[in-house]
């Protein structure tokens, strides 16, 4: 009998992932930029918020269900799209299956290692994510493909400014895994025999291509080939955002909003929802934690569009805090990637169960019957906690 694969916290999933993954792969998941202040603040800020629990009058039955962009979900957590999940042979398909089992929406990155057709087949509630990259013709082709596969919404991620350099060092990530790369990485990979065996028994090697960016009649670009295209594409304007939304024609979420004025511009562009986000701390370092920015943005546009949050969510209590400050739901990224690395599909389901259980405990202790009843009165928000960006005339 091996070690019990179950873990009780996301922190434990991360510890197991660190022991299991080659150091460069683990470092790629940690990510962050420059000083790492934003990635640290994303999680630390949640701990600054306190709960205001009630002592009696609790509800024996609590409703955690909600909907995001018209799609029902069992509780307000969405799988955030993250690129190239080659930490496990089944990658995004394993994540999609776990999410489907738990009644959760699957966000799929256009930089993913699995094609949208396979992922949407594994989870009928898949949202497809795109960057502003390549020609408009190429972007239309990618949208058409996602739509044909059954994607129910489009997530546009536009908050990337190509920050580079980490004070703790960046991992060496190969463009592709070939014989030369295998020899070069052998010393660190051989220290992780379980990870090597997980791939070895499938007869496959980690796939570092982006199949969803494959042009008709062409081959899928490598991750770095796709990244280069992204860097060479002129940044989008608000008119481009409107074009993207109109071309998609269905529910549309703009990810990466941190300013009130940008949130209002997003409403004007016709989006259905936004995610308050700093790209998981991977963009401009020293941007405040997402949860600090949420209240001002939710107050400004929450009556007009759906407001989500991503960045730093590691516990069900974090979900409750985000909802109390105005979010309809949260997106998770690293949390489920740790689970995927620790135990594949079962590890992702484990993480979702942890978040659901923690959220239910918070709703119970706060004396609420539904996640929709959570409000600022359920929290202690310290003086100076929130940040309001883009509010000057």
Catalytic residues: 279
Q: Are strands 329-332 and 77-79 parallel, antiparallel or unpaired?
A: parallel
Q: Are strands 153-157 and 126-130 parallel, antiparallel or unpaired?
A: parallel
With contact defined as beta carbons under 8 Å apart, do 66 and 309 qualify?
no
In terms of C-beta density within 10 A (0-12 exposed, 13-18 middle, 19 or more buried), how is residue 362 classed? buried
Distance from the first to the final alpha carbon of the chain: 65
Q: Closest by alpha carbon to 105, among 77, 83, 144?
A: 77
Count how many Cα atoms sit within 13 Å of the Cα of residue 331 in the half-sphere of its side chain.
Answer: 31
In terms of C-beta density within 10 A (0-12 exposed, 13-18 middle, 19 or more buried), how is residue 48 classed? middle
Cα separation values, 355 from 74, 92, 104, 107, 136, Å: 12, 19, 12, 17, 39
């Amino acid at each position: 009998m091996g070690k019990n694969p179950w873990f009780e916290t996301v922190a434990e999933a991360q510890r197991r992932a660190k022991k299991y993954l080659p150091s460069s792969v683990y470092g790629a998941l940690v990510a962050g930029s420059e000083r790492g202040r934003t990635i640290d603040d994303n999680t630390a800020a949640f701990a600054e918020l306190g709960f205001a629990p009630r002592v009696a009058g609790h509800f024996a039955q609590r409703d955690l269900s909600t909907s995001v962009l018209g799609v029902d979900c069992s509780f307000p957590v969405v799988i955030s799209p993250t690129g190239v999940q080659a930490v496990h042979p089944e990658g995004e398909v394993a994540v999609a299956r776990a999410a489907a089992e738990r009644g959760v929406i699957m966000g799929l990155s256009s930089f993913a290692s699995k094609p949208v057709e396979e992922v949407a087949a594994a989870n009928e509630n898949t949202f497809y994510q795109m960057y502003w990259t390549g020609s408009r013709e190429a972007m239309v082709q990618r949208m058409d493909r996602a739509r044909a596969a059954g994607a129910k919404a489009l997530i546009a991620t536009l908050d990337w400014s190509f920050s580079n350099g980490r004070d703790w060092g960046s991992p060496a990530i190969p463009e592709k895994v070939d014989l030369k790369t295998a020899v070069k990485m052998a010393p660190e990979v051989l220290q992780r025999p379980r990870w090597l065996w997980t791939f070895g028994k499938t007869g496959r090697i980690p796939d570092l291509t982006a199949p969803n960016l494959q042009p008709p009649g062409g081959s899928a670009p490598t991750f770095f080939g796709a990244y280069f295209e992204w860097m060479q594409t002129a940044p989008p304007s608000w008119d481009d955002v409107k074009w993207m939304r109109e071309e998609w024609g269905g529910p549309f979420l703009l990810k990466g909003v941190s300013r009130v004025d940008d949130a209002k511009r997003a409403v004007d562009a016709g989006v259905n929802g936004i995610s308050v986000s700093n790209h998981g701390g991977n963009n401009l370092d020293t941007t405040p934690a997402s949860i600090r920015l949420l209240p001002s943005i939710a107050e400004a546009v929450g009556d007009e569009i759906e407001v989500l949050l991503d960045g730093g969510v590691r516990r069900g209590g974090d979900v409750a805090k985000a909802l109390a400050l105005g979010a309809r739901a949260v997106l998770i990224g690293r949390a489920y990637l740790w689970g995927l690395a620790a135990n594949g599909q079962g590890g992702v389901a484990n993480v979702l169960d942890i978040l659901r259980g923690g959220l239910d405990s918070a709703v119970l202790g706060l004396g609420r019957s539904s996640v929709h009843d959570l409000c600022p009165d359920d929290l202690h928000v310290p003086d100076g906690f929130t940040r309001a960006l883009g509010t000057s005339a």
